[in-house]
Chain A
């Protein structure tokens, strides 16, 4: 290990970390924007949920690199080529999280809201989504961490991220670079996770200690097929 490499390349490390953060965070956010309406539709028309779930699972089973390569003819060597597959992957976690979250709203609460004169949309926004939030955020935590880690694979098609450090370190037989790259990915993932936990704490002051139950529920439902 040649630790002096680090201070000499702080600028590069920072730039790659920012690029990796961007590629890791945008897909789950876009995924959330897609999953909320999709989840609502799946709860409203229950028969839609199994095919949607199969669809997202099948997409999740495609290796990320294969998807990147398949997209190059359409989106070229741009960030979009990485963002689209990672967004699709995040749906596999986020759609079930939204569905589970909405289904966790107790029936008497829904009924009372209707009986007090909430319209469908207002009930959704003011009652159902806030109650679903802890489970949705638990899903977001999984999606964000996995997306940050997957973003580095984009380096294989030349989309800049912390993956650069792995490939460069390998080619030059320089382990320090690889270790630094791994450390940065882990720190980035932890920081994003911490941020989401903060958001959850802010949105769910009304809960007891059962927020962690929601997280565990999402985590046990997901047993990801290893690294991609």
Chain B
């Protein structure tokens, strides 16, 4: 756990970079510091490994004041990843990754073995071990940077705009990789970014800074989107936060409907009857393996002979499906919006239909999920207050 206790950084000339910051980074969590340039987020990060010393206040790492003791010793227990990678151009990839183990006095053989292990962990081919940094792409270099930071297995990882210099596709994959790695390693990660999307994607907690080095809000991404503390945070979080917040609610809570889902060998007459009973203008037709085939409208079904099988009736495409067991409400909403019938098909891992949802049912689901989240926050606040 990292604790900032009334930490202030004032530069010569009086510029206030960080203003009396109180912040707690729980062990094993990813906390993202986000804000516009000049808000003190990078300064705050660099105070953790003492690249910058605070003017006032103290920082504790697992209860110990980091300002006591040798900075080099402190730094070897803290991984550091920066935007420009800072890889050593004169050392091979494996030796770059082995830097801290070698500083800690490991044998060269052991350190290199560890390098190979880490290259695999971050998804680098073993053939790159003997190459030099300039021979790698930007994304690969950044992976080396992450591997190098993890080499001595430090409990804390500091990342300063780690993915800002790569193109959006590589950035997204590096973010996914970080989330995957963090799921395995459970490091205490502090990541600085100016990209609020990145913060919401990778952070367990997000700290929004305002210009002048003040902390505006520290919250989970869902709460940041749901209840921004003030206009500044709301403006910073940005457009369509309501929709984006739905990413944090599971689609499993949706009340799916199975009334108007019929096998393809059903007759048109029977289908019309079922649809009318269910009050549905559309029937979802499924094949023998219970996979979706398409939508049939009751109007269309009434115009064909009653004995015709659904397999022979022209169908409307079912569009995108969603997975209630693993997707969010945002994915369900997206599938519904994109469907020509205003109804989205939920499927399981095997692609078999588990139910359908409509705008009406989605609205109810979203409302329930939001109320539950708000209630949870309310009771958390009550607990904090008592």
- Chain A residues, Cβ within 8 Å of B84: 106, 108
Contacts of B103 in A (CB 8 A): 116-118, 122
Q: State whether the Cβ of B381 lies closer than 8 Å to any Cβ in chain A.
A: no
**A115-B89 CB under 8 A given contacts A108-B82, A206-B132, A208-B134:** no
Separation of A127 and B227 alpha carbons in the complex (Å): 48
Contact assessment for A115 and B49 in the assembled complex, using a CB-CB cutoff below 8 Å: yes
Q: Which bucket holds chain B's interface residue count?
A: 20 to 34
A182 to chain B, nearest CB (A): 39
**A117: chain B residues within 8 A (beta carbon):** 72-76, 100, 103
Using a Cβ cutoff of 8 Å, how many contacts connect chains A and B? 65
Question: Which of B49, B72, B73, B90 makes the CB contact (< 8 A) with A206?
Answer: B90
Assess the B72–A109 pair: CB atoms within 8 A: no
Q: Is B51 an interface residue (CB 8 A)?
A: yes
If A112-B82, A116-B80, A117-B76 touch, does A206 touch B100 (CB 8 Å cutoff)?
Answer: no
Q: Are A131 and B90 in contact (CB under 8 A)?
A: yes
Count, chain A residues at interface, CB 8 A:
20
Cα A217 to Cα B100 in complex, Å, equals 34
Interface presence of B314 (CB below 8 A): no
Closest residue on chain B to residue A210 by CB atoms: B134
Is B118 in the interface zone, CB < 8 Å from A?
A: no
A131 in contact with B89 given A111-B51, A115-B49, A117-B76 (CB within 8 Å): yes
Residues in B whose Cβ lies below 8 Å from that of A127: 88, 90
Distance in angstroms from A122 CB to nearest chain B CB is 8
Query: Do most interface residues of chain A lie in helix, strand or loop, or is the interface mixed?
Result: helix
What's the least CB distance linking B156 to chain A, in Å?
Answer: 12
Q: CB distance B90 to A130 under 8 Å? A: yes
Cβ of B123 < 8 Å from any Cβ of A?
Answer: no
Q: B89 to chain A: closest CB distance in Å?
A: 6
Compute how far the CA of A108 lies from the CA of B91 in the bound complex, rounded to whole angstroms: 15
Q: Is A119 an interface residue (CB 8 A)?
A: yes
A111-B82, A206-B132 known; A118-B72 Cβ under 8 A:
yes
Instruction: Decide if B86 is an interface residue (CB 8 Å cutoff).
Output: yes
Nearest A residue to B151 by beta-carbon distance? A116
Interface flags for A159-200 (1: CB within 8 Å of B; 0: not) read: 000000000000000000000000000000000000000000
Instruction: Decide yes or no whether B85 CB sits under 8 A from chain A.
Output: yes
Query: Among the interface residues B89, B90, B99, which one has the most CB atoms of the partner chain A within 10 A?
Result: B90
Query: By the criterion CB–CB under 8 Å, are A114 and B76 in contact?
Result: no
Chain A proximity mask over B115-141: 1 for CB below 8 Å, otherwise 0: 000000000000000001010000000
**Contacting residues, chain B, for A118 (C-beta < 8 A):** 72, 103
B89: which A residues are within 8 A, CB to CB?
Answer: 106, 109, 131, 206-207
Please report which residues of chain A, range 115-152, place their CB below 8 angstroms from some CB of chain B when the two chains form the complex. 115-119, 122, 127, 130-131
Residues on the A chain within 8 Å of B100, using CB:
116-117
With an 8 A cutoff between CB atoms, is A113 at the interface? Answer: yes
A127–B103 Cα gap in the complex (Å)? 13
* B87 on the A face (CB < 8 A): yes
Does the CB pair A116–B90 fall under 8 Å?
Answer: no
Give which listed residue, A109, A114, A115, A207, contacts B88 with CB less than 8 A: A109
Task: List, in ascending order, chain A residues with CB within 8 A of B158's CB.
Answer: 115
A-B pairs, top 10 by smallest CB distance, nearest first, are A112-B86, A117-B76, A108-B84, A115-B80, A108-B86, A117-B75, A117-B72, A206-B132, A206-B90, A130-B90
Contact sample, A vs B, 10 pairs, CB 8 Å cutoff: A109-B89, A111-B82, A113-B86, A115-B49, A115-B51, A115-B78, A116-B80, A117-B72, A130-B90, A206-B89
Residues of B within 8 A of A (CB): 49, 51, 72-76, 78, 80, 82-92, 99-100, 103, 132, 134, 148, 158
